[in-house]
Structure 1
Amino acid sequence: MYTRYARRLAAFAALLALPLAAACESDPNEPEIAERLVVVVNSTENSLSLVPQEGGDVVQTRKVQLGAQGSPVGVAALGQWAVVPLGTYPFAAVVNLRTSSVTSTVALPANSGATGVDFVNDSIAVVANPGRNSVSPVNVLRGTAGAEVAVGTYPQAVVSDGARVYVINANLVNFTPAGPGSVTVLDDRLRFVQTVQLTGVNPGAAEIVGNRLYVLNSGTFGGNDGSLSVVNLQTLAEEARYTGFGDFPSSLAAAPNGELYVGIYGTGIVVWNPSTTSFRIGLNDPIEPGNQTVISGLGFDSSGRLHVTNARSCVAADPGFVYRLTSSGATDRSVQVGVCAFGLAFADVPESDD
């Protein structure tokens, strides 16, 4: 998440100076950052919780209701905008984070099943339609969707570096793996480039680190066969796959040092080092944020801190939490959010031009 987020900064002029702030003076023409947010999707509540990245357990959070229908599990954010695919409801909600409001609910193709999403530039987000084996571009400024683009079978995640879009195809039929997954590579205008065949089953998350795309394969439920595929972005081919990632790993985030943090629902977080191709923290002693093992989402903010969502039991009487962790893996903060806290994203919201 951190590496992908850093690439997005290059597409958003307001944030270009951040990585060099210690060495360079900021551009006076760039807008100031009004607030830095953790944007959390509350799935069964169909809402977003906007949580300040700074502060302790008691912080002022805001909630954005996404509508009466939907089953969201993911979100992408860039600048003042967030896009939330609404799952069983074939729409994507476009949220203005500055005003904490839904500015448009964009219609997607019927039976979309909208899930994964990522920004390809500062106005276009790409939403996966697993029910139609396609993706749709959503213009956050206009509140419209463009023509769908065919990809592989059951796309359920999207990752973009600004130059290309990588669509992670799970190859599910009736929600059951029909064989190994694949990655559909599109350019920044959503034109087909290539299909990368994977050897892993049920890929559902991915991160870009350097010139590699790391794809997390959830495997079969109860099969204890989670794995990690490594795709070379120069040759556009899977060059390796590593096993031992437990039972149905579902979330993946890249740390600033390139290590990969893997969330395994019901187990905790393991840490894999791509340089040594081994676990630094393995299944025998996983990280348990807040002494909890229900890991529903995780990611690194622009300051390199890990945030983790815990969905808990997904009933109204048992709301979810988002934790912030120290570099040692200790829980630094616990903030209550909405019901069934799932995916999360990070936003550096610029001040208004007004």
Structure 2
Amino acid sequence: MQNRFFRRLAALAALPLLAAACDGDGPNTPRIAERLVLTVNSVENSLSLVPVDGGTGTQARAVGLGAQGTPVGVSARGAYAVVPLGTYPFAAVVNLRTGTLQTRVALPAQSGATGSDFVNDSIAVVANSGRNTVTPVNVLRGTAGAEVQVGTYPQAIVADGARVYVLNGNLVNFAPAGPGSVTVLDAQLGVVRTVQLSGVNPSAAAFVGNRLYVLNSGAFGANNGSLSVINLQTLAEESHHTGFGEFPSSIAASPGGELYVGIYGTGIVVWNPQTRTFRVPLTAPLTPGGSGIVAGLGFGPSGRLHTVNPGTCQTPGVMHRLTGDATVDRTVTVGICPFGIAFADVPEAEEED
């Protein structure tokens, strides 16, 4: 079962992190009904919805995504979440207010869809790894737009409100054929530029200031995980850093700007972009709950770190919430084989006149 987990991770690894927005004070700002942290349960095809707040008695709600698919990523914004379904050419749209599957939007045949992120409140962009394209999905209408050509094997997407960054793994038969790249799209999904990377198999990324930090998973068994730094003003790779271990697959920026990197089977290392050194190294990683199995991580609205541990992918996994000193203060049981994390501030429904 673990071999199947690694094959799935190699083919469909990583997901983008979406930071939750804060409550506003303006009269037209929607009030937040609930803050959620989400994770996709790959083996059972479900999405777990967990309240960000709450103590040890907190329980997850499960939303079934259907009988088919190999989901490994989720993105969220407002009242909606999008889950690309991998081998099943659809994207599931989940209504977070009702906790139900709203629709499954058809994608191009053999899309192999993996990563996604939201461009605005209604449009999410989904990466079609099998077609070297991305597809916009309207979550309100339940429709898909025309494909946009990107690089080879796009497998993750991050957006900053102005641009969309598509991480192209450059995989052939799930193995790296060479260094990866990042296709930069504008808000209308026009191609701005392709940034060539030095690292192999880019699979996740995080923003810190005016830099995009791209995590390169490398190849299985090669112990060549690395980090590419893209200057968002010049849209070029300005530096490349090695030493990130064996197949790192998730990355998140802390409120203080440090980068937390999840390495399956090892744990979490922490890298400081200012000093370009590890504060928490591979030789002494963080291991939430005493385990180095980390399949996703992210920081919630209050700055607390959340991680998921799929275990053997045969029984339900767990989601940990950590305090500032990396002590687990809550563990919630989720579904079988959880992957990735996304956060959502779910607004109250608007009253009808």
Tell me the TM-score range normalised by the shorter chain: over 0.9
Once the two structures are TM-superposed, the CA of residue 303 in structure 1 deviates from its matched residue by: 1.2
Is 1:227 aligned with 2:242? no
Query: Residue type of the partner of 1:59?
Result: T
**Cα deviations by residue, 1:17-59 (Å, 9 ceiling, x for unpaired):** 2xxxxxxxx2233222111111111000100111111112211
Find 1:348's aligned residue among 336, 342, 345.
345
Map of 2:295 onto structure 1: 296
Query: Residue type of the partner of 2:321?
Result: R
Find 1:334's aligned residue among 324, 331, 334.
331
Tell me, yes or no, if the aligned pair for 2:33 and 2:347 is still in contact at 8 Å: yes
Distance in 2, Cα, partners of 1:104 & 1:74: 17
Once the two structures are TM-superposed, the CA of residue 61 in structure 1 deviates from its matched residue by: 2.3
Distance in 1, Cα, partners of 2:228 & 2:29: 39
Find 1:324's aligned residue among 317, 321, 324.
321
* Number of equivalent positions: 337
Correspondence list, 1:39-78, <5 A: 39-78=38-77
Structure 1, unmatched stretches of 5+, are 10-14, 18-25
Once the two structures are TM-superposed, the CA of residue 209 in structure 1 deviates from its matched residue by: 1.1
Distance in 2, Cα, partners of 1:131 & 1:248: 21
Distance in 2, Cα, partners of 1:291 & 1:202: 28
Distance in 2, Cα, partners of 1:39 & 1:352: 20
Which of structure 1's runs of 4+ aligned residues deviate more than 3 A?
Answer: 3-6
Distance in 2, Cα, partners of 1:251 & 1:99: 29
Q: CA RMSD in A?
A: 1.4
Distance in 1, Cα, partners of 2:253 & 2:203: 15
Is 1:87 aligned with 2:92? no
- Report the 3-state secondary structure (helix = DSSP H, G, I; strand = E; otherwise coil) of the residue aligned with 1:105: strand
Change in CA separation of 1:335 and 1:4 when aligned onto 2, cut-off 3 Å: closer
Is 1:166 aligned with 2:128? no
Map of 2:129 onto structure 1: 130
Map of 2:284 onto structure 1: 285
Distance in 2, Cα, partners of 1:275 & 1:228: 14
Once the two structures are TM-superposed, the CA of residue 16 in structure 1 deviates from its matched residue by: 5.7
Structure 2, unmatched stretches of 5+, are 1-13
Distance in 2, Cα, partners of 1:185 & 1:74: 20
- Report the 3-state secondary structure (helix = DSSP H, G, I; strand = E; otherwise coil) of the residue aligned with 2:86: coil
Change in CA separation of 1:98 and 1:56 when aligned onto 2, cut-off 3 Å: same
Distance in 1, Cα, partners of 2:242 & 2:327: 27
Correspondence list, 1:171-320, <5 A: 171-315=170-314, 318-320=315-317
